């Protein structure tokens, strides 16, 4: 086996759902949504060593807890090989920084970065639209990470329209609980009847997350974090949880609140980004 390209480190950014409305449940079980995605500057990082082995391997701390057959990074790489007929391989190393099960999209972002990076490094030449179609088979959030820009999303999250919301600083708290997305969307008490609205109406209305009240009832850790954070800033839950975030105009204000956070909680300050760090990497090539 020979290595045919230098290892390259690519970011896989986290996202926030600035609002999330559940409109209805379709006959196939999926839910129609309206949501606003914005990236933050906290990222996982994937390093790719390209070779001619025809194999894709992964070195990650998650190897002990996520089976290869369920790993979205490996599934993404293999899906790209299948779609393009590419015969070479890669060894991928994952640096995991985004909390798992927190609604920050880490797994979907890792898959998107794998598709985008290997498409560039393998020179397979697929468009963003073609990569997005592959990504959608892996998860509803994968296309927004491939697209690379803050977006209003409809459908199951795959119908994207670029938007440019304000880019504040966020204090993000990651409660010590794993919230399963499937469990939230299967819960009979989840509201599923928020009327669809036009984008300009949504952007000018108070933002909320239809999953938040249910998840807070099911998980007191989420309710406690929200209650504490609301004392400092407008705050909501992202995705199906468990992470919650508060908006601040200044980094110093977000940091000051973080410094007051209970010491046994996990939290961090991040900057909102309408162009994702992954897209910025791609544009720099």
Q: Which residues are catalytic?
A: 15, 141
Give the phi and the psi of residue 3 in degrees, each rounded to 5: -85, 125
For residue 56, give both structure tokens. 């894709």
Residue whose C-alpha is closest to residue 111's, from 92, 125, 124, 126: 92
Residue 284 DSSP SS3: helix
For residue 110, give both structure tokens. 């890792």
For residue 228, give both structure tokens. 């504490």
Instruction: Write the burial class of residue 224 (CB in 10 Å: 0-12 exposed, 13-18 middle, 19+ buried).
Output: middle
* 76 vs 55: CA distance, rounded Å: 13
Other Cβ atoms within 10 Å of 148 Cβ, number:
23
Length of the chain: 285
Does residue 147 contact residue 160 with C-beta atoms inside 8 Å? yes
Tell me whether strands 31-51 and 151-154 are parallel, antiparallel or unpaired: antiparallel
* 181 vs 31: CA distance, rounded Å: 12
Q: 74-84: buried (b, 16+ CB within 10 Å) or exposed (e) per residue?
A: bbbbebbbebb
Report helix angle 106-121 to 72-84, nearest 10.
30
Positive or negative, the CA dihedral 172, 177, 183, 188 is negative
């Amino acid at each position: 086996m020979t290595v045919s390209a230098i290892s390259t480190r690519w970011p896989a950014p986290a996202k926030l759902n600035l609002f999330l409305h559940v409109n209805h449940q379709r006959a196939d079980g999926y839910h129609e949504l309206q949501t606003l995605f914005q990236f933050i500057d906290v990222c996982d990082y994937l390093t790719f060593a390209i070779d001619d082995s025809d194999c894709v391997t992964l070195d990650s701390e998650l190897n002990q807890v996520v089976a290869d057959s369920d790993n979205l990074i490996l599934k993404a790489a293999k899906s790209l090989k299948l779609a393009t007929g590419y015969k070479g391989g890669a060894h991928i190393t994952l640096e995991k920084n985004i909390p798992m099960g927190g609604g920050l999209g880490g797994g979907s972002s890792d898959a998107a970065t794998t598709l985008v990076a290997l498409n560039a490094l393998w020179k397979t030449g697929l468009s963003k639209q073609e990569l997005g179609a592959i990504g959608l088979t892996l998860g509803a959030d994968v296309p927004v990470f491939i697209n690379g820009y803050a977006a209003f999303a409809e459908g199951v999250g795959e119908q994207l329209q670029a938007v440019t919301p304000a880019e504040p600083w966020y204090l993000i708290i990651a409660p010590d609980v794993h919230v399963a997305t499937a469990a939230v969307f299967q819960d009979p008490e989840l509201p599923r009847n928020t009327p669809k609205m036009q984008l300009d109406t949504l952007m000018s209305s108070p933002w909320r997350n239809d999953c938040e009240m249910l998840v807070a009832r099911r998980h007191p850790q989420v309710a406690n974090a929200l209650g504490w954070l609301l004392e400092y800033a407008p705050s909501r839950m992202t995705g199906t949880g468990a992470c919650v975030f508060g908006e601040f105009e200044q980094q110093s204000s977000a940091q000051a609140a973080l410094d007051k956070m209970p010491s046994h909680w996990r939290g961090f300050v991040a900057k909102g980004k309408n162009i994702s760090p992954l897209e910025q990497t791609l544009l720099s090539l």
